[in-house]
């Protein structure tokens, strides 16, 4: 069975590396982008199953990236990551089709559970070798 694909979009290198490690170890194929331009190229080329998208990205902000993703392919699931009380943006992101948001600093386990919940629904659970 093909691996599910997760794209991590954040301008902070440390967060991208952390999330890539977490989701690679969960068995996903991971991609990363530091800005909207790269993110949309990866979406175009790889069609990820889920995008973890930071709200505040220099250049093209998260909402703009979200609009592009959802216009191109409404099937792609998007979870937003926000830094501070960006409530108006969160509301707009939800209206644009984002599933949920995590406020930084987020609990990595909660995020892992949320992503697995979105991507592993209805699939046979693989045997866990821990």
Mean model confidence pLDDT for the chain: 91
pLDDT score of 122 more than 80: no
Nearest to 26 by CA among 96, 124, 128, 102: 128
Provide the pLDDT for residue 87.
80
Among 14-23, 52-61, 120-129, name the most confident range: 14-23
Residue 35: CATH number of its domain: 3.40.50.2300
Split into its structural domains, the chain has a count of 1
Is 36 exposed, middle or buried, given 0-12, 13-18 or 19+ CB atoms closer than 10 A?
Answer: buried
What value does the mean pLDDT take over residues 30-46? 98
Determine the structural domain holding residue 47 and report its residue range: 5-119
The answer as to whether 44 is a domain residue is yes
Higher-pLDDT residue of 127 and 63 is 63
Is residue 127 a part of any domain in this protein?
A: no
Q: CA angle at residue 127 from 122 to 130, to 5 degrees?
A: 125
Residue 42 has pLDDT above 90, yes or no: yes
Is the full-model pTM beyond 0.85? yes
Is residue 62 one of the residues assigned to a domain? yes
């Amino acid at each position: 069975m093909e691996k599910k694909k997760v794209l991590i979009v954040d301008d902070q290198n440390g967060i991208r590396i952390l999330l890539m490690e977490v989701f690679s170890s969960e068995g996903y194929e991971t991609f990363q982008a530091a800005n909207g331009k790269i993110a949309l190229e990866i979406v175009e080329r790889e069609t990820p199953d889920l995008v973890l998208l930071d709200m505040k990205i220099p250049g093209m902000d998260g909402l703009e990236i979200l609009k592009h993703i959802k216009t191109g392919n409404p099937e792609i699931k998007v979870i937003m990551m926000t830094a501070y009380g960006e409530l108006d943006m969160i509301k707009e992101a939800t209206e644009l089709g984002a599933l949920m948001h995590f406020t930084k600093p987020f609990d990595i386990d909660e995020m892992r559970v949320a992503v697995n919940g979105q991507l592993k629904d209805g699939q046979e659970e693989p045997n866990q070798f821990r």
